[in-house]
Amino acid sequence: MGKPTGFIEYVRELPLDRTPQERIKDWNEFHYLLDDKTLRNQAARCMDCGVPFCHTGKLMSGGASGCPVNNLIPEWNDLVYRGLWREALDRLHKTNNFPEFTGRVCPAPCEGSCVLSINAPSVTIKNIENSIIERGWAEGWVVAEPPVVRTGKKVAVVGSGPAGLAAAAQLNRAGHSVTILERADRPGGLLMYGIPNMKLAKEEVVMRRIRLMEEEGIKFVCNFNVGENYSIASLTEEFEAIVICTGATKPRDLSVEGSQLHGIHYAMDYLTDTTESLLSSINNQSKINFNVSKKIQAKGLDVIVIGGGDTGTDCVGSAMRQDCRTLTQFEIMPKPPLERAEENPWPEWPRVYKMDYGQEEAAAKFGADPRAYLTTVKKFIGDHKGQVKELVTVDVRWEKNAQGQVVPIEQAGTERTQPAQLVLLAMGFSGPEAGLLKKLGLALDSHQNVQAEYGEYATSAVGVFAAGDCRRGQSLVVWAINEGRGAARECDRFLMGTTDLP
C-alpha cells in the first residue's frame, strides 16, 4: 500500500450531511462529498492487511461478510491514495456495474469485515466507492461502451431492478441483443420505486445509468406485464433465452384483528406512491408540492411504522418529509447492543445499535429515537367509517418453546393503546409473486422462490434463468448485482457453449 502507517496516522472521517431539520423539507439527496485530500487520507487507512476479508463476499450467521460482488477494495483504495482516480474507476467497474447505487444504498458489509475494524473504526469503503464513481461521471470517464460484435442472439430480461440491470449489462457486453421487460411505468424496479429519492435520486442517478445502458444498445420496454399484456408464448418464441429478475415483492402481512381497516398499507405501496407523486410533479414541470400523494398521505397524521430494516427506515424518512404529526416505529426484536456481542464476532456483519437517517430525522423533530423494541401489535381499532384510529400493542420477550424454537411470548399486563391514522407494514417480503412463475412452469423451492442453484441460475425450464430476490429471497442490492452478473455468465454459456464473462 502507498501509506503503510495510514491506519495509525488518520482517524475515520465521513462527509457531513445536511442537518435533519433542513433535509426533511425536500426530497433531495443529503450527503456531501469529501475533498480530495481527505479522501486520499481515508484511502490511506487501508492497512495492507494481507488477507482482505473486505472483498470475500461470504454468508456468515445469515448475513453478508465482505463484499458480495468481490470489489477489489484494497486495490482501488491504494489508487485513490496515489491520486490515480481513473485507474481506481477501472478497478471498481471490473466487479461492479453500478457503484453509484451500492455507494449510496448498500449497508457496507465490507466495512463490517474490514480487518481494521477488529479494534478501530473501519475504512470508509462505501464513501470512497461512491466518490470514485461520482468523480468518473463528473470527469466524463463513464461513457457508453457498446459491443463491437453482435452474436445475433436475443435475450429477454424480465424485471429491471438491480439483478435485471446487471444481467442485461453483462449479456449486452457479450454481444447479445438484450430487451428488458418492466411492468412498471419507469425502469429501475426497486431502485426506482422501492428506495426513496433522498436516498437514491431517480433522475440524477438511476436514469443517468439507464440512459447510458440504452446508448450501449439495451432496449427497455415499460408497462409490459409478461403473462398479462404479453403472452408467454410470444416471450419464448421471440427470445432464445430468458432471465427472470422479478424480485421478491410479496409482502409479509400482519394478521391481527382490524388489519383490513383503511389507512393500513404495505410499506412498498407507500414508498411507490410517494415516488410516483414526486416524479409526476417534476415531469409535469409544475410547482412541486412534495406533500401531494395520489393515495397515501402522512401529513398531519399519527404514523406507525411496523418493522425495522431499510424499508422501515425509508418509511420513517418519507413520513417525516410529508410532515406527519407523530411517528412511532415498532420492532419485535430486542434493541441491539452498542458493541458487538460475543456471539457476533468479527468478521460477521455487526449487529449493533445505530440510528439511520430516518430515525435521526424523527429524533431531531420529536426528541427521541422513534423505535420501540420488543413490541408487537395486538389489534387495530377503527372508527365508524372503517378508518384505523388507534392500535393496541403488547410487549414480548423471546423464549424457547417446546420444540426448541425461540419465539416471542406476549407479556400479560403490558397492553397499551395509542392513536394511529396511518400504519405502514414494513415486515419484509415472503417471496416472489407466483403468477408469472407458474405460467412459465418453473419449479419452486421450499420457500416458494424460483428453484435454481446459486452459481448456475438455470431454472427447471430450458433456456430460462433466474437471479436476485426471486431466486434467493429478500436480500441486498449488492447480492442482486452479484446474481445478475452470475446469471448472465451462465446464460451466455448456454447460448454460445462457452463464456468469457466473469
Reported as a single tens digit per residue, the pLDDT across 145-199 is 999 999 999 999 999 999 999 999 999 999 999 999 999 999 999 999 999 999 9
What's the CATH fold of domain 154-249+430-496?
FAD/NAD(P)-binding domain (3.50.50)
Distance (Å) of CA 345 to CA 55, 132, 336, 339, 348 = 18, 30, 14, 10, 6
**From CA 238, how far away is CA 247, in angstroms rounded?**
23
pLDDT tens-place string over residues 44-63? 999 989 899 999 999 998 88
Q: Write down the pLDDT at residue 48.
A: 85
Q: Give residue 289's pLDDT.
A: 46
pLDDT at 340: 95
SS3 label, residue 48: coil
Residue 291's pLDDT band (boundaries 50, 70, 90)?
very low
> Three-class SS of residue 451?
coil
Q: How far is CA 415 from CA 324, 340, 391, 398, 420, in A?
A: 25, 32, 10, 17, 15
The whole-angstrom separation of Cα 486 and Cα 500 is 12
pLDDT at 292 over 50: no
Nearest in space to 43 (alpha carbons), one of 81, 91, 83: 81
Q: Which three cell numbers mark 435?
A: 403468477
Q: Which of 170, 126, 120 has the alpha carbon at shortest distance from 147?
A: 170
- Residues 297-310 have pLDDT tens digits of 999 999 999 999 99
Q: Quote helix, strand, coil % in the chain, to nearest 5.
A: 35, 20, 45
Q: Which residues contact 131 (CB under 8 A, 6 or more apart)?
A: 33, 34, 39, 80, 103
> With 70 as the cut, is the pLDDT of residue 293 above it?
no
Write the DSSP string, 231-294: -HHHHHHH-SEEEE-----EEPP--SBTTTSBTEEEHHHHHHHHHHHHHHHHHTTSPP-TT--S
- Count Cβ atoms within 10 A of the Cβ of residue 338 and give its class: 0-12 exposed, 13-18 middle, 19 or more buried: exposed
* Angle 274-278-284 from CA coordinates, rounded to 5°: 145
At 80-106, the pLDDT tens digits run 999 999 999 999 999 999 999 999 999
Same fold, 154-249+430-496 and 253-427: yes
Q: Kindly state the percentage of the chain with pLDDT values over 90.
A: 93
220: helix, coil or strand? strand
> Tell me, what DSSP letter sits at residue 396?
E
CATH, domain range 6-139: 1.10.1060.10
Q: Whole-prediction pTM value?
A: 0.95
- The average pLDDT across 340-347 equals 95
Question: What's the pLDDT at 17?
Answer: 94
Alpha helix segments (H runs only) across 24-160: 36-44, 73-81, 85-95, 99-105, 109-112, 125-139
Q: Stretch 446-459: mean pLDDT, rounded?
A: 96
Helices 477-496 and 162-173 cross at an angle (nearest 10°) of 40
Inter-CA distances, 494 with 173, 242, 426, Å: 16, 11, 39
How is residue 314 written as a grid cell? 425509508
Domain residue extents for the chain: 6-139, 154-249+430-496, 253-427
C-alpha cell at 352: 449493533
Burial environment of residue 226 by CB neighbours within 10 A (0 to 12, 13 to 18, 19 or more): buried
Three-state SS for 410?
A: strand
Supply the Cα-derived Rg of the chain in whole angstroms.
23
**pLDDT band (50, 70, 90) for residue 14:** very high
CA atoms of 295 and 297, how far apart (whole Å)? 7
pLDDT grade for 294, boundaries at 50, 70 and 90: low
Query: Using one digit for the tens of pLDDT, what is the confidence trace for 192-231?
Result: 999 999 999 999 999 999 999 999 999 999 999 998 988 9
Give strand pairing partners of 257: 379
406-428 core/surface letters (b: 16 or more CB in 10 A; e: else): eebeeeeeeeeeeebbbbbbbbb
253-427: CATH class: alpha beta
